Structure 1
Amino acid sequence: MKKMIAYCGLDCEKCDAYIATINNDDALRETTAKRWAELNNAPITAEMINCMGCRIDGVKTPFCDSMCEVRKCALRKAVETCGDCGEIGSCKIVAEILNNCEEARDNLTKK
C-alpha cells in the first residue's frame, strides 16, 4: 500500500497540510488553518499546518500527531492501516470517515 495513504484510508498527498508543508506555502497554511478552525470550532493556527503524513516519520499537525483516535488505535494494534484490522466492518472509530468518503474505503481495500 502506498505510504501516503493514512491509517483511515484518506490520501495524505491530497491534504492541504501536506501540500503546504512540502511546498513551504505559508498562504496555504493560513487559508487551511482558517478553514479548519471554522470547521472544527477550534483554535487552529497556520503554525500548526505542517504534516508529512500520518504513517511517515516527520512533522504532523497536532491533530494527526496526538489527537486522531484512528491513528492511535492503528498504532496500538500495530496495523499498517485500518484495512488490515479484522474489526473494520464494525469499527465506530473509522466509520464516519469510511461512510463519508468512498475514496478512503477504496484505498483500504486496494492492496
Structure 2
Amino acid sequence: MDKQGTARFTITRNSIADAVVLGISGEIDVSTSRGADAGLRTASEPRPQPALVVVDLTTVGFFSAAGVHLLAGFGRSCENRGLRHHIVATTGTIARKVVLITGLNEEFPTFSSVDEALHAA
C-alpha cells in the first residue's frame, strides 16, 4: 500500500486484482484539493493501466465544493483515458450526502463498500 498526503488528508493506494483502490481520508476543501488532485492522478497512473479505479471516500470527514470539483475533474480524466471509475461513499456519511446532492453519483457509479464496487465491475 502506498500513502501520500498532508496532515489534513491522505491518499492510500491498494492494487486488488486489476483494480486500483484510492482511499481518501480527512478533509477535502479549497486548501487541500490541489494536493488531492495531484495525488489521485499520480496514484491512478500505474503501468499497466488498471481496468478500474475505485475512489473510497469512507473516511472523508469534510467535503466541500472543491472536493466535488476535484472528483468531477478526476472522473473526466478517467473517461479520457478509458478508465472505468467508481466511488465508495458509505450511507449516512457527509461524503455520501454530497455525492447524492451534487449528482456525482450520475457520473460515477456509487457504492456503499469497496467490495460492492469491485464486484460490480
Identify the TM-score tier after normalising by the shorter chain: under 0.3
- Name the larger-Rg structure: 1
TM-score (norm 2): 0.24
Going by fraction, where is strand more abundant, 1 or 2? 2
Q: Relative contact order: is structure 1 or structure 2 higher (C-alpha 8 Å, sep ≥ 6)?
A: 1
Q: TM-score, normalised by structure 1?
A: 0.25
More helix by share: 1
